[in-house]
Amino acid sequence: MKSPQIRVCARSILAGRAMAEPLLALNEVCAGYGGSIVLEGISLELPERGSLAVLGRNGVGKSTLLLTIMGYTNVTHGTVRWRGEEITARLPHRRARAGLGWVPQEREIFPSLTVAENLTVASRPGHWDLKAVYELFPRLAERRANMGNQLSGGEQQMLAIARALMTNPLLLLLDEPLEGLAPIIAEELTASISRMTADHDIAVVLIEQHAEVVLSLTRDAIVMERGVIVHRALSRDLLNDATTLDRLIGLRASKVNNDRA
Question: Residue 7: its pLDDT value, please?
Answer: 47
Q: How confident is the model at residue 201 (pLDDT cuts 50, 70, 90)?
A: confident
Question: How many C-beta atoms lie closer than 10 Å to residue 27's C-beta?
Answer: 16
Q: What domains are defined for the chain? A: 21-99+192-261 (3.40.50.300)
Residue 257 has pLDDT above 50, yes or no: no
How much of the chain, in percent, has pLDDT values that exceed 90? 79
Cα 105–Cα 110–Cα 111 angle in degrees, nearest 5: 105
Mean pLDDT of 19-26: 88
Question: Residue 15: its pLDDT value, please?
Answer: 40
Cα distance between residue 53 and residue 223, in whole Å: 8
3-state helix, strand, coil split of the chain in percent (to 5) is 45, 25, 30
* Averaged pLDDT score across all residues of the chain: 88
3-class SS at 154?
helix
Instruction: State pLDDT tens for residues 139-193.
Output: 999 999 999 999 999 999 999 999 999 999 999 999 999 998 899 999 999 999 9
Identify the H or E element spanning 199. Answer: helix 183-199
Q: Comparing 69-78, 89-98, 179-188, which segment has the lowest mean pLDDT?
A: 179-188
Question: Residue 14: its pLDDT value, please?
Answer: 41
Tell if the pTM clears 0.75, that is, is over it. yes
Instruction: Say if residues 117 and 149 touch (Cβ distance below 8 Å).
Output: no
Question: Residue 105: its pLDDT value, please?
Answer: 86
Instruction: State pLDDT tens for residues 216-227.
Output: 999 999 999 999
Q: How confident is the model at residue 19 (pLDDT cuts 50, 70, 90)?
A: low
Closest CA to 120 of 70, 73, 165, 66: 165
Instruction: State pLDDT tens for residues 112-127.
Output: 999 999 999 989 999 9
Question: Residue 9: its pLDDT value, please?
Answer: 43
Question: Residue 251: its pLDDT value, please?
Answer: 58
Mean pLDDT of 203-224: 95
Question: How many C-beta atoms lie closer than 10 Å to residue 255's C-beta?
Answer: 15
Q: How confident is the model at residue 108 (pLDDT cuts 50, 70, 90)?
A: confident
Instruction: State pLDDT tens for residues 29-68.
Output: 999 999 899 999 999 999 999 999 999 999 999 999 999 9
Mean pLDDT of 77-104: 96
Residue 133 has pLDDT above 60, yes or no: yes
